[in-house]
Amino acid sequence: LTFNCIAFAECFFNWSTVQPSHTGKFVCDVCGKKYTYKRGLHQHKKHECGQEPKYQCPHCPHRTKQKSSLKTHIFIKHSCFINWSAVQQNHAGMFICDVCGKEYKYKNGIYRHKKFECGQEPKYQCPQCPYRAKQKSSLKTHISIKHSDSITNGYYIQYKYKRGLYQHKKDECGQAPKYQCPQCPYRASQKGTLKTHMAVRHQ
């Protein structure tokens, strides 16, 4: 059981067309494709259903309807196109990025890094602190470790305990953060969040 703050979502999304589903499946009335969440069906009808695939693979005739699907295809089918001569292994057998020096145990790890991360700005913003991640999975890991009392799925905030939702609606939701970090521009809605920020960022 989780407690959801809908007001958080309404600030950013049109809930008349996009709303998470808690039971059952959402079915496309055109092609019959099923989705667990209404946002999935909304995305499908907006970008996929009845449309020709517009993203062309540069290595084969395969085409996809979404850019993310093309990236997945290239990663799975064409990892051989990476320039492995520029990738060195250290004495421990780790693969080292020739640009930033980051180490990976497996080739597919450094391939994903060079393809999607290295030299790019982090684009996934934590909704509760200044942290930004280059991959959505990294943001989820960060939230589960640093903000374990609340879980976000990008559309609304869930709380494990009713007191968490009560505190959020009382002190945070819709209000400007009032606790200023003395060492950087960061501001927090709760004193405890500011303490966590200072311990993580300015220890």
pTM of the predicted structure, to 2 decimals: 0.31
pLDDT over 80 (residue 176): no
What confidence tier does 52 reach under pLDDT thresholds 50, 70, 90?
confident
Distance in angstroms (rounded) separating the CA atoms of residues 46 and 61: 24
| Contact criterion met (CB below 8 Å) for 153 and 169 | no
The values of phi and psi at residue 78, to 5°, are -130, 35
Q: For 94-120, what is each residue's pLDDT tens digit?
A: 888 777 788 888 877 877 777 777 777
The predicted structure's pLDDT at residue 151 = 52
Strand, helix or coil for residue 3: strand
The predicted structure's pLDDT at residue 185 = 78
The predicted structure's pLDDT at residue 9 = 43
